[in-house]
Structure formats: C-alpha cells, structure tokens
Structure 1
C-alpha cells in the first residue's frame, strides 16, 4: 500500500533498486563453470563435483545430453572392453533401468546391448540422475553472449536466459560445447576446416588445406510399431520437386528399401533395434542418396543463433522432406513405398519438439589449437607393436578409428557423390592431457572441441571418448580450483590416479576392466609404457577381434595384460629397466616376481610409498 501511494519519483527509484537487486542476484560465483551439457560437459560436471567442487553447468538448449539424448542411441565404439569411466557408469545405469522396468531376462535388456543402446528418453533420464548432485546447478536454455578475460585468466562469462542476463565468475571454466563457443570468445586459437598434408604429415589429409567440414544430419528415432508410431508429416517449406530426382535410384539392386542396414537403402536403420522396437536412423556411408549435407553447414561453427537456426531448418526440410516424399508421394514405386508406410516417428520420444530430435548432429565445428594437437599418427600403431603410440601423459583412451562421413559433394544433392569420406582402422589409442589445454588461458579446459587436426578429430568425436575427456577435464578443473594452479600445471600423475580410482582407463587393457582388483595398478603400469612391446603389430593394421554385429567386436587382440602369465626374462629385464626409470626402489621384490601380475602389483605398491 505504501508503494502504491508513493510519488512517481519515489516509485521510479524503488523500481530501479528492485531491478538492481534482481540483476545482482543473477551474478553467480562458483569453482567450476561448464558451458555445454553435451556428454563431455555432463561428465565434466559429475567428476568436478565428485572432486569436491561447486559446479554451474550451462546448456544453451532446453535438453541436456547433446546427441546422446537427441537420437544418437547406437553408440560408436568397437569393443565393450573399451568402455570405462563416465560412459561405462552411464551405460550400466541404462541397463539397470531396463532390468528394473522390464526384468533381467527381458527383450529390452537384451536389446540395450549392455546399456549402450538406450532409447533417447531413457538416456535423458539417466543423465539427469547422474547430475543430481547438490554441488551441481544446471541452467538450461541459457546462451553464452560474452567472455571477460584478464591476463591469462578467464574472469567471467555472461549468458542470456530469455530476458535475463546471467554473469558467472569461476575459478576454472570448461568449454563442453560441440562448437567451442566459449574458447573462441576467450581468445583461444582454433581451426575450422581441413589441414593440408604438409601441416602435420597426415596421409589422410587433403593435399591442400581448405574450409570443408564434416557433414551434418539428424539422428532420428523411428519405429514400425503400430502402437507407437506417429506419421511423418511434410516439414515447413517442403517442395515435392526437390525430391523427384530420387526416383531415378529406386531400382532393384541399387536402392530397394527406404529403411535398412547397411546398404541399398535411403537411411540406415541401425540393427539390432533399440529397446521397444525403436531405430536410430543415420546417414548411409558411401550411399547413393544421403541424409548428410556437406557444404550446407559451413556457417555453423562461427555463426550466431540466427545463422545456426537457418542451417538447422534447412536440414529439417531436406532430411524430413526426403522421408515424407518416399512414404507419401504417388510416384514412388509400390515395392519401395508400401514397406516404408509402416514407419514413423516414435510417439513417446521428443514429445516437446513434435517427435523430432531437438539437436542437429554437429559432427565437427571449431577445433582448438592447443598444447598438443592430436593428429592421425597419434592413433596409429607404435613401431612393430600391437598397441598404438604411447602417451605417458594419457588421460583417456578410445577404440574406434578416424571416421568421416564426407566434407564435400560433387553433383546434385540427390545422386552426386560425397568427397572427403574416410574410414581408417586403428588399434585402441590414448589421448594426452595436452589436447585439453589451450596455450592462451590458464583456467580453461576444452574436452569436446578438443585440440586436434581434422583427421585426428575424426578419431575423437565419439560419445564414449568425449565423456572420458570430459571426466578428465572435470577432475583437472577441480584440482586446479582447489590448488590455485593453472590447469597446465596440474600434476598429470595425480590426475591419472584420480581417473583410475574413478574407473576411467588411460590405456586399453582387454582383460583388466574397471572393478578388477588390479585395475589401478595395471592402468598405471600400462600408461607408463609397461604393456607396450608385449605383442607384435598384426598383419592387418587396426586388426579387431571377432565381429559381434555391425561395428561391434570382441576385445582387440594383442591388448591383454595376461596377469597370470609367467614373466619371461626379456620382459623382466625390460620391466626392471622401466622400474628404474620410474625411480622404484623395490628391485629385489620385483626381480623375484614370477608372473606379470606379481610384478605389476609389487611395482605399484613401491610407487605408492
């Protein structure tokens, strides 16, 4: 009542004071601020909080999880033995959800493939649960607008959430975005496009550098279950004439179905199906008709919201429009159209966005040029070795390969041919800490737009690897925040020990997995170089184990520690020399070890003294 009775000048002053108080309340301080709740950003938040830091996680969209909750449900990896740390924890919780909901012997549990094939809504549920830590505060639909720096430090970042401005000051920042938006605004050097062969000596790079980017498309979630299907409708701006050229390819032996795997189809409906008869739809590698659109995404990495929205809508028009045409247009041959008519979007997925994924599959955008630029050679075999190049400063590992769906396109969108496509088999590989570190900023880590060449990035751009990199970044950020040290001065051995305790591997070991009594010891010894030289390079580079299905294989050969194996003299001599290099003093006990496991256990105990 007093406020209403006040004179106009007093009311204006009061409103100004209220506004100032409101803006002040939007200024936040924290230990670690993470921009981008991608898989890497989520893992960073979880590990930083577990290391005792207060965390603010900011996501520019309404949905956390990046592509892991936006349709990419057939996770990219080769062997289950490569899954450790945050991603393993995530997938185990997905599997546990299906066991609790449907029973341990259910078809849903089997279809989840150890929790790595989760429905988008289940993946979202589990990531939300992982983030339920009182030290983590999440801000959704909050977009980065500016970054303030002073000297080598990032002082603060400002964000827009509707009509509100949010300013965050943090001891350490992590850029978890696919685009590297925060690092770019912080003045960190980065690259967009492909490097030429002369820059890093990569055989898979183009002869000359260019501005090409790996193509984008949507990862739709579809079904042919009549109880859960929603018809695919024409997207905004649909034009029938845009899709008439596809009719020329709908011939037996060329393209004989719309939804299939792995070839002679329009879209890859990846098999086996996800739980509850859902399918992750993707671009068909080396296909005649593609969902991916090289060249149409070039403005995305450095584009503003409007530019990115325009690219998003163009991909909706083409990706959705193509499927709508094939299912509905009378010119499509009946033998193609009739089976396709049973398909549609999933009624219970992406309900807030008309059953379409809310995010586009941004396979590549900016890439930091940091302390270590990860290149093609970093994931290839060490000389005469089954294993890849050794990185004693490794903070993550992966098991996939350099994979690119194309960066250019010759001819018309429908019927032309992608260029820049590559699929390079390699052994499981390590990633050094330097790939997360910018040169310019002392309190910033970049685990997603990670420091790498185009070819190198093609081996890193996978959800399990991004989660491992994010997990490492989160622990490193917490260590730096608590010590006041620059992130570049974080003790790598201490970080590795923390990661091993958190069940995250820094080197691939096929027979000593997280939960094994000697996991920490074997990871420590292997990362120091002890497991290199045990097995020769296979006849075929990047040789994999027995195929399970699709892109999934049994454990990679030549990568087992074989702890019960007797210690031959050549290995004992080499391991004793390595123990000396590491400053271990238990020489007599090491010399008496009879098996590999005995030696590693004794060495680990000596290192802990």
Structure 2
C-alpha cells in the first residue's frame, strides 16, 4: 500500500503546517504556544554548500524554503578552509567534466570575484585541466554563498540547532515539524538533511550507520580493516613506547592501544578528521601561531622521533589565490587526528564543542612545535616558521576554522546501498537512476594509528589515482538519497547517502555534495507538486529537469 500523499502547496492565506496538522488530525497549535513558528514548502537543516545549493534550486523551482544552520556561517567546508577543492588536482585523471548545474554556477561566481571569468570560460570550452582556476579563499566562497542566498530571497537562519530532546514531530512516517534548541519550530512539506553528520536523519528515526562494514557484507575489497595497504607505513620506523623498547611503559601520545584485527573485518573506526587551516607567509596578513598556554611537548613525541629518524614533515605550499594555503593532512603527522573523532557525529552539542576546543589546542601546539620547539630540526623550524594564520580569514575566531573537516558522519541505510562495486573499473554494477556524477577515487585516510611489529603503523588508508587503478566514475543513484519508505516519506539527504564506508570515500567531495543537493531539491519540489512520497518521484521527470538545469549525469565522450 502506498503511503498517503504529501499535502499540496497552500495558498498564501493558509498556513502550510496548520493544513498538515488538520490532515493528520493533530492538535498542535496550543502545544507550541510561546515559540516562534516558521513555515515553508521545504525546510533544509544544515547550511553546508549542499544546503545552500538545495535552497537555491528550491527557490528557482517556485517553492518557499527555510535554510537552518546550527552555527553562524553558510557554506560548510567550502568556507571553513577547504579552498583547494578536489577538481583537476591529480595528474592521472581529470574530473572537472563532472561539475555541472548549480555547482558549476558556484565556481563561475567565484571566478567572477577574482576577475578571471574569461579565463575560466576558455578553460571549460577547451576542456583544459587548470587546477588553480577552481581554487579559492574561504572568505571569497563565503561572500559568494551570502550573495547567492540574498539574491535568491532565501530565509536563511543561523544558530538554529536541533534540540537534543523532543526535536522531531512525526505523524506516522511523515515529519511534520522540527524544533531547535532555542524553541523555534519549523514546519514543511518536505525536509532535507544537508549536514555532514546526519543529525536530522537520526533525529527523524531513519536508519544510519557509522564506521566500516566488513568486505563480506557487500562483496567489496577495500572496506573494513586494511592490513595490506601499501600506504600504511611511515617512511621511518618509529618506536611507539614511552620508554623505547619497553611495551610496559605505555604508548606515546597519538598511538592507540588496540588489536589490529583481520583484513576486511568490520570496525567502528572512521577516517581521521582534521582542520583545514588557511595560512599565509605575507607579513601584512600574517597572524603568528602562538604557543598554547598548556603546551606539553610530550604530545608531539611521535613527531619528534620521526624527525630525529630523518623523516621530513614538509611545510605547506601556496596553493590558493593570494599566496595562501589550506593544509589539512598533506603529511600524515601534521594534521590528521586518527581515533579522536570516532564519536563526533553522535556526540552531544557540548561534547562536540569540547572536541573542537581540544583538537584546536593540539593542532596549535603541533604547528608551534614544528616552527619553534628546539627538539625539531633547524631545517624544519626554518620551513614552518614563516607560515601563520590569515588576518582576513575566520575573523570571528582568531583566524582558526570554526569546524572540523568531517570526512565521515552518519550514513543513511536505505533499501538501496551504493557500494564500491558501482565504481569498480571492471564490470561495474549499473546505476539506473543517476542524478549526478561521482568522479573521484575511493579515498580514505587512516582510521587508526596502531602498533605493528613494535613500530607505529597506520591502518585504514585507501587511495589510488594511478592510470591502472580499479575505479571509474559512476552515477549518484537517486535511491541512495531517500530513506526507506517505512521510516520517512518526506525526507532526503545529499550529504549522508545510503552508501558503504568505502563508497562514501569516493562520494564525499564538495562539488559532488552540490550535485546531489540540486537533485534532492528538485525531487522535493516534484514530490510536493504531485502530492507523493519522495520515494515515488518519477525518475524520468526528475532526470529531464536535471538535464535542463545543466546537471551532469554521465561522463562525456572522450
């Protein structure tokens, strides 16, 4: 039996939520006394790049929208330091042909800000591979998103975080309203979770998963525990014990006391987070990175031993406009924090705040160590000391990003699961309902930093950009963006698809989030127009509209 239809769009004189309430037989008006009530056709939770794109598309299709952001800034990682966007930045493949629709409009708007429109369009016409034309500074991206929001007339509300209790009102399998921790209520016909963490999915009772499935679960080869990865070894052998050679003395900071496990087995760990700092050498724009008040050199013993063994922790390079850079994990000992972030996606608001604070203190101490600590080689200090934070970036947070680079949050579990096998090079599983294009390798950073054979060893790394690699571009299936109809019929997500851990490693790129966001917003408006569940949206109509709007659904001919 099909679920009851979604309510039609209401005339201006009628309140959408009141109509829904009457249809559902709910008495909600009195229960909401004293709170601010907001209504729209579509409510988007998460002001990431995907959230903004979904809002723009909703408005362009003639529907009202509310965009909610738990923090104070709109744009997600594109404004939190990830300016070295992963487009045309690898020697062995060119993925810019996958950027279409509103994602391409975003990059065009960025180019206009830099006065490089002609150069950008010439690159597109001739399919040239020019990495630097896709890159930007965080404050420029934020200005683009802000301008987009304003000219589109989007009701964008910052500091609207889901309440930790009693945050979702559902009638059967339909979300009727969500409540934020300031008491505001938001009512809509369709909701979109555009967070990296999957917070709205979880609150709405949609099945999600964290961590790594085993290879056997979906017939994959790169999921679960990775014991044979050629990238797992540091280039110097490092003793992991506080007293070298004595396991009983305990482990140095950053090395985890866990068994390795067996190849391909499931594991609760996820790839490491980091901060994507924005740094400069320009003395007129440089903020020195100060020594933290609680600086403890023992926290950087791993780096000290590595450098003493002849290892090189290479400094950043100016890969962004105006001589800036966005280091996150260019070296495995200079940014990633494996093990620390495993519980972030499911943590409380207070716990997330604590994790961010403690992580910033650690990274600040690490960068100070590399530039100043006498135990670091002079060559290392000379290379790192010219770099500092930027005065014109993250100006409300002393030059520091305000968010983690969340490489893995919750992933939805739906009737369809995107797997590594949809993107394998030989005989890939077909994607019959593509709404965007993934053009990136299965890319996973280390999940754990362990002891193997008495040495520090990195576990969980997957990446291959070589010409003979075992991956190929593949479509974003619409079925991976909608929940099971038995769980929710008016919720979609562009950022937390139904995908395995390794498949998500290829999916998790900002422009691909934007691609999926345009698709789910289009589907949401079609669901409203036809008064149907999001699972019942006609794919052929959806495809036709996406192509009309410039979305890329398949690789172009050579």
- Bin for the TM-score computed over the shorter chain: 0.7 to 0.9
Change (3 A) 1:325 1:111: farther
More helix by share: 1
Q: Calculate the aligned-residue CA RMSD, in Å.
A: 2.4
Match among 347, 351, 373 for residue 329 of structure 1: 373
In the alignment, which residue of structure 2 is the partner of 1:41?
51
Give the superposition deviation at 1:417: 2.6
Deviates more, 1:234-243 or 1:87-96: 234-243
CA shift for structure 1 position 381: 2.8
CA–CA distance in structure 2, aligned partners of residues 104 and 196 of structure 1 = 46
How far apart in 2 are the matches of 1:38 and 1:466?
Answer: 9
TM-score scaled by length of structure 1: 0.73
1:221 paired with 2:278, answer yes
Partner of 1:247: 304
Q: 1:53 aligns with which of 53, 56, 63?
A: 63
Q: Which residue is 1:372 aligned to?
A: 416
SS in 2 for 1:56: strand
How far residue 389 of structure 1 moved from its aligned partner, in angstroms, is: 4.2
How do residues 132-531 of structure 1 correspond to structure 2 at under 5 angstroms? Answer: 132-145=150-163, 146-160=167-181, 164-206=182-224, 207-235=264-292, 237-250=294-307, 254-255=311-312, 258-259=314-315, 269=316, 273-284=319-330, 287=332, 289-381=333-425, 383=427, 389-411=429-451, 416-424=456-464, 425=469, 426-439=471-484, 440-509=487-556
Structure 2 equivalent of residue 76 of structure 1: 86
C-alpha distance after superposition, 1:231-290 (max 9, x if no partner) = 0113454322322442222258621x541xxxxxxxxx3x562110000112136x3x24
Instruction: Tell me the residue number matched to 1:533.
Output: none
Structure 2: unaligned runs, 5 residues or longer: 1-29, 89-93, 121-127, 225-263
| Partner Cα separation in structure 1 for residue 451 and residue 280 of structure 2 | 32
Q: CA deviation at 1:114?
A: 6.2
Classify 1:483/1:360 alpha carbon distance in 2 versus 1 (closer, same or farther; 3 Å).
Answer: same
How far residue 139 of structure 1 moved from its aligned partner, in angstroms, is 0.7
Aligned to 1:542: none
Give the Cα separation in 1 of the matches to 2:318 and 2:370: 23
TM-score by length of 2: 0.79
How far apart in 2 are the matches of 1:112 and 1:221? 21
Indicate conservation of the 8 Å contact 1:73/1:118, yes or no.
yes
Judge conservation of contact 1:77–1:399 (CA < 8 Å) in 2.
no
Give yes or no for contact 1:23–1:165 (8 Å, CA) kept in 2.
no
Q: Return the alpha-carbon distance in structure 2 between the equivalents of residues 431 and 459 of structure 1.
A: 11
Q: Distance in 2 between matches of 1:279 and 1:272?
A: 5
Offset of residue 134 of structure 1: 4.9
SS in 2 for 1:402: coil
The 2-side partners of 1:347 and 1:149 are apart by: 46
Structure 1 residue 391, shift from structure 2 partner: 2.0
Question: SS state of the match for residue 216, structure 1?
Answer: coil
Distance 1:100 1:409, change over 3 A: closer
**Alignment partners' CA distance in 2, 1:356 and 1:134:** 29
- Structure with greater contact order relative to length (CA < 8 Å, sep ≥ 6): 2
Moved more, 397-406 or 326-335: 326-335
Contact (CA 8 Å) 1:95, 1:114: kept in 2 or not? no
1:24 deviates by 5.2
Q: Are the structure 2 counterparts of residues 236 and 376 from structure 1 closer, same or farther at C-alpha, using a change threshold of 3 Å?
A: farther
Distance 1:148 1:448, change over 3 A: same
For residues 150-170 of structure 1, the C-alpha deviation after alignment (integer angstroms, 9 at most, x for no partner) is 11101110012xxx3110110
Does structure 1 retain, via aligned residues, the 8 Å contact 2:334–2:366?
Answer: no
Computing the radius of gyration over CA atoms, which structure comes out larger, 1 or 2?
A: 1
Alpha-carbon separation, structure 1, partners of 2:116 and 2:426: 44
Distance 2:450 2:135 in 1: 34
Shift of 1:446: 1.3
Residue 25 of structure 1 and its aligned partner are, at CA, apart by: 6.5
Q: For structure 1, which segment, 293-302 or 172-181, has the greater mean C-alpha deviation from structure 2 after superposition?
A: 293-302
Structure 1 gaps, min length 5: 1-19, 260-268, 510-558, 561-609
Asked if 1:119 corresponds to 2:165, the answer is no
Check 1:56–1:112 CA distance in 2 against 1; reply closer, same or farther (3 A cut): farther
Name the CA distance, whole Å, in 1 between partners of 2:434 and 2:162: 31
Tell me, in whole angstroms, the C-alpha distance in 2 between the residues paired with 1:111 and 1:493: 33
Number of equivalenced pairs: 465
Q: CA deviation at 1:370?
A: 1.2
**Structure 2 SS opposite 1:417:** strand
SS, match of residue 353 in structure 1: coil
Assess if the C-alpha contact under 8 Å between 1:112 and 1:118 holds in 2: no
